[in-house]
Amino acid sequence: MSWQATVLTLFPEMFPGPLGLSLAGRALETGVWSCRTHDLRQHGLGRHRAVDDTPFGGGAGMVIRADVADAALSALDAPKEMPRVFMTPRGYPLRQKDVSRYAQGPGVVLMCGRFEGVDERVLNAHSVEQVSIGDYVLSGGETAALVLLDACVRLLPGVMGSHESGVEESFSDGLLEYPHYTRPATWQGHDVPEVLLSGNHAAIAAWRQKQAEEITRERRPDLWSAWLARREKNEAATGLSGQVRQTGL
């Protein structure tokens, strides 16, 4: 059975969009996954099919109404166990581990916000998870939904060429990935790091590990401290840290 994406949106034409091309597009054609949209507007009210209203408490902008969002969520025939996710900068940050949880399940229902967002009561009533793709504000949830779907679809069985490329990459072990080099070995006077040409697999692995650690420490202090804490815990568990302390390393 294929992995099922259902997207609730005011702009159904945005899907599958870029995911209709390349790896994800081929997987869509071969039925590895499917992408359905559900137009929020069809649940709009009155002659103009209004979906939004002014916020209680005042303030700028409009909010998608509780009754409209509820009608849309209730009309879906997606299985109950399929996660319902609202894309919002107020959400929990999307991590690779969440992506792989979604990819391992039957699919996702994604709700794309517009304006200031959606009435909070509906999100609670439908047990909707709230997810952010980063600390910046987009004009709508559609591009965020495409990001989440892209990250999930590439993990589905058979989508990526080599199995390994999904295992050994940024975040898989808590570090950012090491840098990559390919031909020509000398380009505009710049050589690739010598160790990569050595054929010494252990030395190459050690160099890559060190690069990954340095890049993570510099670019992502948050990931770096989490990784250090995990390493310390592992070493304590295997009794290594005591030895290290004794030898003063």
Q: Does 155 bind ligand SAH (CB under 6 A)?
A: no
Q: Name which position in 73, 132, 152, 176 contacts ligand SAH (CB under 6 A).
A: 132
Q: How many CB atoms lie within 10 A of CB 37?
A: 19
Distance of CA 68 to the CA centre of its chain: 27
Instruction: Give the nearest distance from C-beta 148 to ligand SAH in angstroms.
Output: 8
Does the footprint of ligand SAH cover residue 14 (CB under 6 A)? no
What are the start-end ranges of the E strands in the chain?
Answer: 3-9, 33-39, 52-53, 63-64, 84-93, 107-112, 129-132, 186-187, 190-191
Per CB under 6 A, the list member of 6, 9, 37, 88 interacting with ligand SAH is: 88
Closest distance of CB 134 from ligand SAH, Å: 5
Asked whether position 93 contacts ligand SAH by CB under 6 A, the answer is no
What minimum distance in Å lies between the beta carbon of 243 and ligand SAH? 45
Q: Which is nearer to ligand SAH, 92 or 181 (CB)?
A: 92
CA distance 141 to 164: 31
**Chain-centre distance of CA 228, in angstroms?**
24
Q: Does 55 bind ligand SAH (CB under 6 A)?
A: no
Q: Does the annotation place 113 within a ligand binding site?
A: yes
Distance set, CA 90 to CA 87, 131, 136, 244 (Å): 9, 7, 10, 43
Residue 151 contacts by C-beta under 8 Å, 6 or more apart in sequence? 94, 96, 99
Question: Is 137 part of any known ligand binding site?
Answer: yes
Judged by CB under 6 A, the residue of 83, 107, 141, 174 near ligand SAH is 141
* Residue number, 103 or 111, with CB nearest to ligand SAH: 111
146 is in an annotated binding site: no
Task: Report the nearest approach of ligand SAH to the CB of residue 110 (Å).
Answer: 10
String marking each residue 68-87 x if it binds ligand SAH according to CB under 6 A:
-------------------x
* Residue 180: alpha-carbon gap to chain centroid: 23
Is 44 labeled as ligand-binding?
Answer: no
Tokens 């992408």 correspond to 35
The DSSP code for 83 is: P
**Footprint (CB under 6 A) of ligand SAH, residues 95-124:** 112-114, 116-117
- In sign, the C-alpha dihedral spanning 226, 228, 233, 238 is positive
Which position has the token pair 């709009």? Answer: 44
What is the smallest separation between the CB atom of 216 and ligand SAH, expressed in angstroms? Answer: 23
Residues within the annotated binding site for S-adenosyl-L-methionine? 113, 133-138
Residues engaged in binding ligand SAH (CB under 6 A): 87-90, 112-114, 116-117, 132-134, 136-138, 140-141, 144
